[in-house]
Structures are given as C-alpha cells and as structure tokens.
C-alpha cells in the first residue's frame, strides 16, 4: 500500500516537472499545474498518515509480544509488586523538541514538496515527521511547547497587523432637507438683500344690480411683505499633510459633510427660523392652528386635529392640502395605533381603514428628493427629523405641518464650494468652504399652512 502511494506521488512530480520546464504555459496547463500542486499536498498527507499507522501497528505488536513473554516468565507479576528501585518510563519524544538547530519542521515539510530534493534528504525528513506524529499520539510523550498570543506583542502580536477597511468608511449621516425641498421655489435675485412681495389684502365686490341704481363698488386694497436674505456658510481647516496622505481623502469627506450640513441648515431655516422677515413654518404667526390635547394620547385625540388642519388649508386657499410633514417618531406612533379589534389603524397596501395607509418608502436619501412614507386622508405624509421635539410646556412635544406645499416660498442661490491653499499658507493648511444665500417666507398666503400642536404630540411608541 505504501509503495503505491509513493508511486502515485512520483507520477505527480514527473508531470509537474514536464510543465515546469516549459517557457510558457497555456491557460489549461496553468490550471493543471495548480491542480497537481493540490494533488501533491494530498499525496504527502496520505503517505504521512500511512507511515504513522504502520509504525503504530508495529509498536502495538511489539508491546503485545513483550507482555506475553513477561507473563510466561512471571515478570509481569513481579513488576506489579512494590519495588525499591525507581520505575523507568520510556517515552517517544518529537525530534523537533530536541535542542538541534539543524532540524526544522518547516524545512522538512518543504523538503517533501521540493521536487529537486535529494532522495536521502527526503527520506530523513519523512522519518523525522513520522516520529513527530508518533510522539503526538503518545500520551506520555515529552513535548516542549510554547504558547503564542496575538494579544501580547512580544509573543507574536506584532505579526498580526491591524487592518483598516477604508472602502467601508462610514461617514456621518445628516437629516437632509425634506421640507425645504417640498415648499415652492424661486431663484434668489442676483443683487439685494431685502425684497418685497406685493399682496392683495382686500378685493372688489360684485352684487346684484337694481334697476336705475349704481353698481356695487369696493376698492381693492394692497400691501406688501418684506423678505430678508441671509448668507449661510461654513468652513473647515485641515493640514495639507492629512489631505495628501489620507484615504479616503480628508478633503472629499469634509466637502461632502459641508454639503450635508448646508442642506440641514436650509431645512432648519424653513422650519424654525425666528428672524423677523424670515420666519420658519413653525415660528410664523397668523398661520392656521389646530390643537390636540390629551393626558394619554390616542388616535381619537389626534384625528380631529388633523381634520381641522386639513379644513383650515382648504378654507384658507380654496385648495386641498398636498403635504403633511411630521417627525419620524410621530409617524411611528401613528403606525402603532390599533382599533378596538387590535388592527392597525394605518394599514399597508390594502388598508382596512382607507383614510390612512403607509407605503414603506420612509425617509429618502440625504441628497434625494423627499419621498412620502404613506398618506392620511389621501394626503402624502413626509418625514423630517429636523422638526424639534422640544415644544410645549413639558419641552417634549413635536409638531405636524399640513400645507399646500407650493404657497410658502424658498429663494436660494446655488451653494458654492471653494478650497483655498493660500488662506493658511504659513501653516501649510487647506481651507474648505461652502456658502450660499437664502430667503424664505410663508407669510405670502398664511392660509396655506396649518400647524397641529398640543400635549397629544408628546407620546411615543
């Protein structure tokens, strides 16, 4: 059996030699060479295993013979009795455990694979390896071992270098600008910082005419609202050394983050600005208002307020609202409400309650347009995490915005991104900057927006 294994190994080596002597291999030959390498390693393992089993069987036979001989001569019984002489124990020791610098397990393994190795070297290497595996099987074997540790630098830890998965870099997320993308748009004029929008506050009148009497006459009245622009911007300073040596590039990461934060700031202005002539939707006075009050909120306490807000807009601009904006936690709370039969009030594609449904899209990407999470009363619902959750006496309420989305007006210039190598030249630093101009008003037609507030908006799932 052992001879057959060696012959099979020799055939593999001969075929590898033929391929190795060629100056260039075809794709099929190259693949065959790789297969032969695998077969060679497998053949070596088979030979080692066979040699190990053969020697173990030989040792077992010798032990059995010795026991039988000792039993016949009575030596076995004598050995069982106490003796003043110290017992002598013979144990197989791995040749690699001895203090012999010319013997190496790694070198012997390489010798077996090396097709150019001398036969005597191969035989010696194989003999030592077999002895080593025998010692591993001998329960009484004296083996010299040392434990290495990845966690201890001096015991091999230096060899386990840390790896950094730069391609999986996780940048900082931002809430984006869903509400800012929903409202009406207009290009900001190229000059000026203060703008006026004329408005008509009172109209003419038409009545039923009486014969030989004057027709109804009422003079229309006009006014104007002021809108002030503001500059929005930010900078980041970083050493050129970092920019030039980093991956991903620190400048690319910083510019992308500036773009995210710029978008969030524009959204915050649209929602929360308290500046006169630039007040946000949640700060502007005179808009429609609806209150939902409850110690413990339920769908029954919030639903009438939603209906009132829809009515406010429909009455205020004679058009049905086309957007409801709320914080993600409020939509989650709504989706968790159950009816008396423990069925979700807000269903999915085929809702049991047709007044509300969700579509599973959720919050859009940071640089994508807004996507509705579902609808209430047929009105798309949009989620915006920039809506504060600190309103009310308990500083724990959020707000819901119902509006005709094209009536509020956002005017902004195209944001500009710049990089300067000269601003901090003496410090060898780079300065990245984003800036843009923005103006916003929701006072043009205040009836287009209604804000739902109240203690019913502090409950969460």
CB 258 within 8 A of CB 431: no
Q: Is 167 contained in some domain?
A: no
407 SS3 class: coil
List, in order, residues 6 or more apart from 143 with CB less than 8 Å away: 93, 94, 97, 135, 136
Q: Is 354 contained in some domain?
A: yes
Question: Stretch 202-222: mean pLDDT, rounded?
Answer: 93
Q: Give me the pLDDT at residue 144, please.
A: 45
Closest alpha carbon to 399 in 300, 264, 280: 280
List, in order, residues 6 or more apart from 370 with CB less than 8 Å away: 178, 179, 181, 182, 364, 382
Q: In this structure, are 199 and 122 located in the same domain?
A: no
Question: Stretch 253-280: mean pLDDT, rounded?
Answer: 96
Does 305 sit behind a cis peptide bond, omega within 30 degrees of 0 on the bond before it? no
Q: In this structure, are 127 and 196 located in the same domain?
A: no
Q: Is 452 contained in some domain?
A: yes
Q: State the pLDDT confidence band at 83, using cuts at 50, 70 and 90.
A: very low
Q: Give me the pLDDT at residue 342, please.
A: 83
* Res. 239: pLDDT tops 70: yes
Q: In this structure, are 282 and 244 located in the same domain?
A: yes
* Res. 231: pLDDT tops 60: yes
Question: Stretch 219-237: mean pLDDT, rounded?
Answer: 96
Q: In this structure, are 149 and 189 located in the same domain?
A: no
d(CA 6, CA 16): 15
Six-digit token string for 73: 């001569």
Q: In this structure, are 105 and 214 located in the same domain?
A: no
Q: Is 168 contained in some domain?
A: no
Query: Of 106, 124, 159, which residue constitutes the final position of a domain?
Result: 159
CB 171 within 8 A of CB 257: yes
d(CA 386, CA 177): 8
CB 314 within 8 A of CB 335: no
CB 130 within 8 A of CB 138: no
342 or 135, which is more confident: 342
Q: In this structure, are 147 and 189 located in the same domain?
A: no
d(CA 223, CA 443): 12
Residue 416, domain CATH: 3.30.2400.10
Q: In this structure, are 12 and 155 located in the same domain?
A: yes
Q: State the pLDDT confidence band at 137, using cuts at 50, 70 and 90.
A: low
Strands 184-187 and 409-412: parallel
Q: State the pLDDT confidence band at 125, using cuts at 50, 70 and 90.
A: confident
d(CA 335, CA 285): 31
Six-digit token string for 312: 């406010």
423 or 271, which is more confident: 271
For the chain, the farthest-separated pair of C-alpha atoms sits apart, in whole angstroms, at: 155
Q: Please give the share of the chain, as a percent, with pLDDT higher than 70.
A: 80
DSSP 391: B
Q: Is 166 contained in some domain?
A: no
* Res. 140: pLDDT tops 50: no
Please give the full DSSP string across 294-357, using - where no structure is assigned: -SS--HHHHHHHHHHHHHHHHHHHSS---EEEE-HHHHHHHHT-B-TTS-BSSBSSS-SSTTEE
Domain housing 149: 2-78+87-159
- Measured CA angle at 174 (ends 168, 175), to 5 deg: 135
Strands 288-291 and 449-453: parallel
Question: Stretch 218-241: mean pLDDT, rounded?
Answer: 96
* Res. 113: pLDDT tops 80: no
How far out from the chain centre does Cα 329 lie? Answer: 21
Q: Which residues pair with 274 in a beta bridge?
A: none
Q: Is 173 contained in some domain?
A: no
Place of tokens 């949640």: 282
Can you state the percent helix, strand and coil of the chain, rounding each to 5? 40, 20, 40
d(CA 36, CA 224): 88
21 SS3 class: coil
* Res. 136: pLDDT tops 90: no
How far out from the chain centre does Cα 259 lie? Answer: 20
Q: Is 169 contained in some domain?
A: no
d(CA 163, CA 365): 30
Lowest mean pLDDT among 126-140, 167-181, 187-201, 318-332: 126-140
Query: Of 97, 128, 159, which residue constitutes the final position of a domain?
Result: 159
Q: In this structure, are 206 and 316 located in the same domain?
A: yes
* Res. 193: pLDDT tops 50: yes
d(CA 98, CA 105): 12
Q: Is 117 contained in some domain?
A: yes
Q: In this structure, are 410 and 349 located in the same domain?
A: yes
Q: State the pLDDT confidence band at 69, using cuts at 50, 70 and 90.
A: low
Q: In this structure, are 370 and 224 located in the same domain?
A: yes
* Res. 171: pLDDT tops 60: yes
Question: Stretch 59-75: mean pLDDT, rounded?
Answer: 54
Q: Which residues pair with 199 in a beta bridge?
A: 223
CB half-sphere exposure, 208, CA atoms < 13 A: 1
State pLDDT tens for residues 12-63.
Answer: 888 888 877 777 778 888 888 888 888 888 888 877 777 776 666 666 565 5
Q: In this structure, are 107 and 199 located in the same domain?
A: no
Q: In this structure, are 368 and 441 located in the same domain?
A: yes
Query: Of 159, 192, 211, which residue constitutes the final position of a domain?
Result: 159
d(CA 49, CA 63): 21
State pLDDT tens for residues 355-393.
Answer: 566 665 444 444 456 888 888 998 999 999 999 999 999
CA pseudo-torsion sign 453, 449, 306, 368: negative
Domain count, the chain: 2
What mean pLDDT value characterizes the chain? 83
State pLDDT tens for residues 292-331.
Answer: 999 889 889 999 999 999 999 999 999 999 999 999 999 9
CB 373 within 8 A of CB 359: yes
CB 280 within 8 A of CB 273: yes
């Amino acid at each position: 059996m052992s001879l057959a294994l060696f012959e099979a190994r020799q055939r593999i080596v001969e075929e590898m030699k033929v391929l190795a002597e060629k100056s260039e291999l075809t794709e099929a030959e190259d693949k065959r060479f790789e297969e032969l390498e695998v077969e060679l390693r497998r053949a070596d393992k088979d030979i080692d295993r066979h040699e190990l089993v053969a020697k173990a069987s030989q040792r077992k036979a010798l032990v059995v013979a010795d026991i039988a001989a000792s039993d016949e001569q009575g030596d076995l019984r004598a050995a069982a009795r106490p003796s003043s002489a110290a017992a002598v124990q013979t144990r197989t020791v791995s040749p690699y455990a001895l203090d012999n610098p010319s013997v190496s397990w790694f070198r012997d393994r390489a010798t077996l694979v090396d097709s150019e190795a001398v036969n005597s070297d191969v035989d010696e290497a194989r003999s030592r390896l077999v002895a080593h595996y025998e010692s591993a099987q001998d329960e009484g074997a004296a083996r010299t071992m040392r434990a290495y540790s990845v966690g201890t630098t001096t015991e091999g830890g230096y060899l386990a270098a840390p790896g950094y998965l730069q391609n999986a870099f996780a940048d900082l997320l931002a809430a984006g600008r869903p509400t800012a993308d929903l409202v009406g748009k207009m290009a900001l004029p190229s000059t000026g910082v203060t703008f006026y929008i004329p408005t008509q506050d009172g109209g003419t009148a038409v009545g039923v005419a009486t014969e030989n009497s004057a027709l109804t006459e009422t003079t229309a009245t006009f006014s104007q609202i002021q809108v002030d622009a503001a500059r929005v911007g930010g900078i980041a300073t970083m050493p050129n050394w970092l920019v030039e040596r980093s991956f991903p590039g620190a400048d690319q990461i910083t510019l992308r983050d500036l773009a995210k934060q710029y978008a969030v700031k524009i959204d915050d202005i649209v929602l929360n600005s308290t500046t006169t002539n630039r007040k946000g939707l949640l700060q502007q006075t005179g808009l429609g208002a609806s209150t939902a009050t409850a110690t413990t909120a339920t769908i029954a306490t919030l639903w009438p307020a939603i209906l009132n807000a829809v009515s406010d807009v429909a009455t205020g601009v004679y058009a049905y609202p086309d957007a409801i904006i709320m914080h993600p936690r409020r939509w989650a709370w709504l989706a968790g409400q159950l009816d008396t039969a423990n069925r979700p009030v807000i269903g999915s594609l085929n809702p049991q309650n047709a007044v509300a449904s969700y579509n599973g899209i959720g919050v859009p990407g940071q640089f994508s347009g807004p996507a509705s999470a579902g609808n209430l009363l047929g009105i798309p619902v949009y989620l915006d995490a920039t809506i504060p959750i600190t309103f009310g006496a308990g500083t724990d309420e959020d707000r819901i915005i119902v509006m005709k989305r094209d009536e509020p007006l956002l005017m902004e210039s195209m944001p500009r991104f710049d990089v300067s190598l000269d601003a901090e030249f003496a410090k060898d630093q780079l300065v990245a900057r984003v800036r843009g101009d923005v103006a916003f008003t929701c006072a043009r037609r205040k009836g287009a927006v209604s804000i739902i507030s109240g203690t019913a908006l502090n409950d969460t799932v």
